[in-house]
Structure 1
Amino acid sequence: MIDTATALQLVLSHGTSKGKTMEVTLNDALGFVLYDDVISPMDMPPFRQSAMDGYAVNANGADWYRLVGEVQAGAAHQPKLATGEAVRIFTGAAVPDSATAVIMQEKVAVNGQQLRLEIPWAPEMNIRPQGEQIKKDAVAMSNGTLIQGAHIGFLAGLGITKVKVRQKPSIAIVVTGNELVSPGTPLPYGKIYESNGAMLQATLNELGYKNTSIVRIADDYEDTKRVLQETISTVDVVVITGGVSVGDYDFVGKALLAIGVEQIFHKVKQKPGKPLFFGRKEGTSIFGLPGNPGAALNCFYIYVYPLLRNFQGAEAVELPSVQVPLLSDYTVNGDRAQFLKAKMHGAGVEILDGQSSAMVRAFGYANALVFLPEDSTKINKGELVKTILLPHQ
Structure 2
Amino acid sequence: MISVAEAKSLIQENVSPMPVHPVSLALAAGHTLSADIYAKHDIPAFEQSSMDGYALRFEDKDLPLTITGEMQAGVATQFQLLAGQAARIFTGAPLPSGADTVVMQEKVTVNNGMLTILDTQLSKGLNVRHKGAEVAKGALAISKGSQLSPAAIGFIAGIGYAELEVHQTPAVGIIVTGKELQQPGRELNFGQVYESNSYSLTAALQQCGLNDIHFYLADDHLEELTAVLQEALTQNDVVLLTGGVSVGDYDFVIRAAEQCGIKQIFHKVKQKPGKPLYFGKKEAKVVFGLPGNPSSVLSCFYQYVLPALEKMASRKSRLKVVEAVLTQDCTKAAGLTHFLKAHFNDGNVTPLYAQESFRMSSFAQANGMIELKEEETNFTAGMKVKVYLFPE
TM-score normalised to structure 2 length? 0.83
Structure 1 residue 329: Cα displacement: 1.7
Structure 1 residue 287: Cα displacement: 0.4
Contact 2:30–2:147 (CA under 8 A) maintained in structure 1:
yes
CA distance in 1, matches of 2:213, 2:140: 34
Pair 1:28 & 2:30 matched:
no
How many residues end up aligned between the 2 structures?
383
Structure 1 residue 223: Cα displacement: 4.4
* Residue of structure 1 equivalent to 2:87: 87
* Residue of structure 2 equivalent to 1:378: 380
- Superposed, 1:1-393 pairs within 5 Å as 1-15=1-15, 17-60=16-59, 63-68=62-67, 69-106=69-106, 108-112=107-111, 113-257=114-258, 259-314=260-315, 316=316, 318-321=317-320, 323=322, 329-334=327-332, 336-338=337-339, 340-342=341-343, 353-366=353-366, 368-374=367-373, 377-380=379-382, 386-390=387-391, 393=392
* CA displacement, residues 216-268 of structure 1 (integer Å, 9 cap, x when unaligned): 23334454445434543543111011122344433323543465432223333
CA distance in 1, matches of 2:385, 2:124: 48
- Alpha carbons of 1:300 and 1:385: their partners in 2 closer, same or farther (altered >3 Å)? closer
SS of the counterpart of 2:308?
helix
CA distance in 2, matches of 1:83, 1:356: 81
What CA RMSD, in Å, does the superposition of the two structures yield over aligned residues? 3.2
CA distance in 1, matches of 2:123, 2:274: 63
Contact 1:343–1:352 (CA under 8 A) maintained in structure 2:
no
Contact 1:343–1:365 (CA under 8 A) maintained in structure 2:
no
CA distance in 2, matches of 1:251, 1:351: 34
Structure 1 residue 62: Cα displacement: 5.2
CA distance in 1, matches of 2:168, 2:53: 48
Structure 1 residue 270: Cα displacement: 4.0
Contact 2:198–2:215 (CA under 8 A) maintained in structure 1:
yes
Structure 1 residue 5: Cα displacement: 4.4
Unaligned runs of at least 5 residues, structure 2: none
- Alpha carbons of 1:84 and 1:147: their partners in 2 closer, same or farther (altered >3 Å)? same
What residue identity is the alignment partner of 2:73?
Answer: A
- Alpha carbons of 1:10 and 1:150: their partners in 2 closer, same or farther (altered >3 Å)? same
TM-score normalised to structure 1 length? 0.83
What residue identity is the alignment partner of 1:104?
Answer: M
What residue identity is the alignment partner of 1:312?
Answer: A
SS of the counterpart of 1:294?
helix
* CA displacement, residues 191-236 of structure 1 (integer Å, 9 cap, x when unaligned): 2122212332344345444433222233344544454345435431
Contact 2:327–2:348 (CA under 8 A) maintained in structure 1:
no
Q: Report which stretch shifted further, 372-381 or 270-279.
A: 372-381
Structure 1 residue 290: Cα displacement: 1.6
Contact 2:319–2:390 (CA under 8 A) maintained in structure 1:
yes
Structure 1 residue 183: Cα displacement: 3.3
CA distance in 2, matches of 1:137, 1:222: 59
CA distance in 2, matches of 1:300, 1:28: 26
CA distance in 1, matches of 2:200, 2:100: 60
- Alpha carbons of 1:194 and 1:370: their partners in 2 closer, same or farther (altered >3 Å)? closer
CA distance in 2, matches of 1:350, 1:134: 47
Contact 2:324–2:348 (CA under 8 A) maintained in structure 1:
yes
CA distance in 1, matches of 2:173, 2:388: 30
Unaligned runs of at least 5 residues, structure 1: none
What residue identity is the alignment partner of 2:37?
Answer: V
Structure 1 residue 111: Cα displacement: 3.8
